[in-house]
Structure 1
Amino acid sequence: MRYCLLISLFIFHTASAQKAKPDLGRHLQPTVFSLTMVMIHDVANPPAASRFYTYCLLGAYEIVATQNTSIPQSTSFLSHFPKLRIETPTSYNHQIAALLCMLETGRLMLPSGYMLEEDEKKLLETLRKEGYDANVIEQSRVLAQKVAREVVAFAASDNYLKLSTRLRYRPTKGDGYWFPTPPGYIEAIEPHWRTIRPMLIDTCNQFIPQPAVAFSKDSTSAFYKLAYEVYTEGKSLDEKKRFIASYWDCNPFAINTSGHMSIGFKKISPGGHWMNITSIATKKAKTSFDKAVLVHTLVAATLMDAFISCWDEKYRSNRIRPETVINRYIDARWQPLLQTPPFPEYTSGHSVISTAVAEVLTYLIGDNFAFTDDTEVLFELPTRDFKSFRQAAEEAAISRLYGGIHFRDAIESGQQQGKAIGTFVVDKIKRAGVKANQ
């Protein structure tokens, strides 16, 4: 009897000593969102934001994959990333190290990365309150800093630093080509983004879409009909369509004018919106911390490559925006519901990246996965319910027609381009051993 009692006490003591601390997974979404908030502050343009997310998560992924053998090494699916020399400390927590690595990489890479120092302090304070050993936290922090430095060194070789040395972009002369639009008449954003080294796809022009409908002033032409559709749609929007357009606006810097005064409003980027959806979905699916890091990293890398592919096409076709066409040839006073972005029209960026990411999330988390998106609550818009990632992507794509900033063929071809990218990524990570919906 005494022997049984001692065993029971031992089991109770062991269970108490090993009592699980609060799940570190609950810190993942706030950490990713900390990166988002700095990007909003910096007005990171959509392609650049996707690049920042990718590198900030890449180090965290490496740390997780070193500890968890069920997570494939990134070198098995990333085209150019070298195997990092990660020497794990004698006493550390790989999840703490992964979280800190995201913040440290962001601190080093983002223009206002210093803002993340406060987020790191708050995280460290919380971890101490949760009972994590001070030595474990410190060794995790040291590892995070080392890995972050290696990731930043790798990022420096992707041609991003060379963009500012290229010739300044000048709009092409001609009726059918893109030209800066009101109210800001901002010059072209990232005209040389095609030169950025991709992460998962092979080349920037691997997924060239079908040619855009050719520009024409002829009122009987296919192009004129596309323009007239945008015009009539914009004049007859109901409240539902207005809301959908506004919900997926995702313009990092919208300008409102009143008389001679212009006011800029900072908002989340398209990639930032999908990164938050990823956080929402992994939390709802009760995905483990390690798998959630994998999902976030693959979504970020897909976003980065989808933007590279899309921007390659944008500055090849260099097509005029609906606002310019309609003001010149249909109605000089017509205005789109959304502010026209400062880059060529074909293909629709949101259509490409949303469709690509939806394919990846459908594989990793599940088809017909219902979720409530609260991303835009920060910008005083209500939550929105979706039955699947693909449904959300479909809505994001058509929102560009409702917003008056894209022709229908740019949306549909963008979806085809995104689907091809997403399918390629899924096939690649399958071969690397990334399992579906586990």
Structure 2
Amino acid sequence: MNPLRTRRSALKALGSTALLAAAVTVPSATAAVAHERKSRPSVALDWYDATAATIAAAGAATQITNSRTWAISWLAAARATREVPPGVDRSAFQDAALASAVHDSLVALVPSRAQELDTALRTTLDRFPDGPAKAKGVAAGAREARRVLASREGDGLDPTSVNAPFTVPPAAPGVWQPTPPAYAPAAQYGNRLARPFLLAGPDQYRLPAPPALDSARYRADLAEVREYGAVDSTVRTERQTETATFWFGSSLTLYTEPLRVAVARSQRSTPGRAALVALFHVALVDTQIATADTKYAYLRWRPVTAIRTGAIDPDPEWTPLHITPAHPDYPSGHNTYAGAAETVLTALTGPRTAPFELTSPTDPGVTRTYTAWSQLSQDNLDARVYSGIHTRSADKAGLFLGKRVAGHALHNAERLFGVL
């Protein structure tokens, strides 16, 4: 897919090239920090934070379900803010519409947080005088929330459906088996049965098969993860261990702050900011669906199984640095997420930004500084090898798949925003 054509299609779907015109200019770190501290209060950021807090406090146990919550809420907001009725204050209407859309969507999807969300909505609406702009904005947000929620009814992304039962095939070379120490049942199999937002089907971008077990590529992959990913590795550096631990947590959690940075530094209007958040999460839902499709199509075993029981220098005692997640190796889900996130952020905000700091719940006390979205992807790629839970081929394939699915989302964004 032509990246320039993809970006142009996304810009067209989001309304106009003016919406994203400032994205390619990278301010200095000092200017960016000053702007973020002095800029007027932003309803978009307020509700971004409310969404993040809602999911952190009472979200679903399954990552894709939480991605769905983001996507629905902000797609409703992006649609509600696009068309301003004549004769009303544009800013007041759009802020009220965004707050109403996100509020109503979140209350429907996470009802246990209704009280906190109701309070947040009152706080937002109290900023504006009563009148047509506020009233029509609230009504528009409520209307679009209802529409988007109805359109996603029964999409198979609820926690029970996501973790649909999977029958593990008999043990054989290369075939995934439950992994130590818990030997837990397969997770996320149901993702590949779910209904995407924009993909024609879960298998639309299914990857080619992973490297054959008798290939030089496979031998190199296994040798690398055996040496660098072992819990007692003598070749992994302190920095590499930190990378593995820093990026071991949930991708949704780790990418919440980078996306917020992009939204906060954006000079776009309220609809433009809402569209950025919506497209990001729509692409990530579809990416996770496509990831599960490829994973369960090939059922490639994890490094711990390959090293302990495979034909190449088996070591029954080998243990990875981190516990292996309960699903197949190929491709890496962390890397499909990274590839999709990088693609959307690059297309809609440019490849670089002023330095920003990032922390991780799985590596308390450590702060990393980034200046380009691709740096997040590179750390993800390396981290899963250093953790001992993925081969490098699975990581590279993940980045490739995530970028393809996100490119598809950008190219077809008019289907999200072009028709209300």
In structure 2, C-alpha distance between the alignment counterparts of 1:161 and 1:27, rounded to whole Å: 26
Q: Out of 41, 47, 51, which is 1:28 matched to?
A: 47
Question: TM (normalized to structure 2)?
Answer: 0.78
Instruction: Indicate if the aligned counterparts of 1:280 and 1:371 stay in contact, CA closer than 8 A.
Output: no
Structure-2 change in CA distance of 1:28 and 1:375 (3 Å): farther
Alignment of 1:38-187 (within 5 A): 38=57, 41-42=58-59, 44-67=61-84, 93-110=93-110, 113-125=111-123, 127-128=125-126, 130=127, 132-133=129-130, 140-141=137-138, 143-160=140-157, 164=161, 168-175=165-172, 176-187=174-185
Shift of 1:212: 0.5
Distance (whole Å) between structure 2 residues aligned to residue 166 and residue 363 of structure 1: 32
User: Could you tell me which of 364, 375, 380 is aligned with 2:364?
Assistant: 380
Show CA shifts across 1:101-133 (max 9, x none).
Answer: 2232122224xx3124313313423542x4544
Matched residue, 1:248: 247
Q: How far did 1:332 drift?
A: 2.7
Alignment-derived partner of residue 323 in structure 1: 304
**Cα 1:378–1:223, aligned 2, differ >3 Å: closer, same or farther?**
closer
Larger radius of gyration: 1
Question: Are residue 356 (structure 1) and residue 316 (structure 2) matched?
Answer: no
How many residue pairs end up in the alignment? 371
* TM-fit CA distance, 1:306: 0.8
* Residue among 212, 229, 237 paired with 2:210: 212
Shift, 1:414, TM fit: 1.6
Deviations 1:272-314 (A, max 9, x none): 4324311111212344322111100000011011111111000
| CA distance in structure 2 between the partners assigned to 1:379 and 1:399 by the alignment | 13
Question: Is the 2:189–2:296 Cα contact (8 Å) retained in structure 1?
Answer: yes
Distance 1:44 1:149 in 2: 24
- Contact 2:245/2:362, CA 8 A, preserved across alignment: no
Partner of 1:392: 376
* Structure 2: unaligned runs, 5 residues or longer: 1-38
* 1:344–1:25 distance in 2 versus 1, CA, 3 Å: same
Q: What SS class does the counterpart of residue 65 from structure 1 fall into?
A: coil
Report if the CA contact (8 A) 1:64-1:98 is conserved.
yes
Does the CA contact (< 8 Å) of 1:158 and 1:196 recur in 2? yes
CA distance in 1, matches of 2:63, 2:333: 9
Task: Pick from 313, 326, 329 the counterpart of residue 345 of structure 1.
Answer: 329
Kindly provide the amino acid, as one letter, of the partner of residue 73 in structure 2. C
Aligned-pair CA distance for 1:323 = 1.6
| TM-score, structure 1 as length reference | 0.75
Q: Measure how far apart 1:142 and its partner are.
A: 5.0
How far is the alpha carbon of 1:416 from its aligned partner?
A: 1.9
Q: Equivalents in 1 of 2:378, 2:55: separation in Å? A: 24
Q: Which residue of 1 aligns with 2:279?
A: 298
- Check if 1:223 corresponds to 2:195: no
Structure 1: segments with no counterpart, 5+ residues:
1-19, 70-87, 251-268
Name the CA distance, whole Å, in 2 between partners of 1:91 and 1:280.
22
Q: 1:27 to 1:165 in 2, by over 3 A?
A: closer
Structure 1 range deviating more: 280-289 or 343-352:
280-289
Contact kept in structure 1, 2:336 and 2:399, CA below 8 Å? yes
**1:237 partner amino acid:** R
Aligned CA-pair RMSD:
3.4
**Identical amino acids, percent of aligned pairs:** 23
Structure-2 residue corresponding to 1:254: none
**Structure-2 residue corresponding to 1:255:** none
Counterparts of 1:286 and 1:237 in 2: how far apart (Å)?
42
In structure 2, C-alpha distance between the alignment counterparts of 1:91 and 1:427, rounded to whole Å? 29
1:147 partner letter: E
Question: In the alignment, is residue 402 of structure 1 matched against residue 401 of structure 2?
Answer: no
Distance 1:367 1:326, change over 3 A: same
> Aligned letter for 1:290?
P
Confirm or deny: 8 A CA contact 1:347 1:414 kept in the other structure. Answer: yes
The DSSP-based 3-state class of the residue aligned with 1:66 is coil
Once residues 161 and 26 of structure 1 are traced to their aligned partners in structure 2, the CA distance between those partners, rounded to angstroms, is 27
Describe the SS at the equivalent of 2:81: helix
- Displacement of 1:238 in angstroms is 1.3
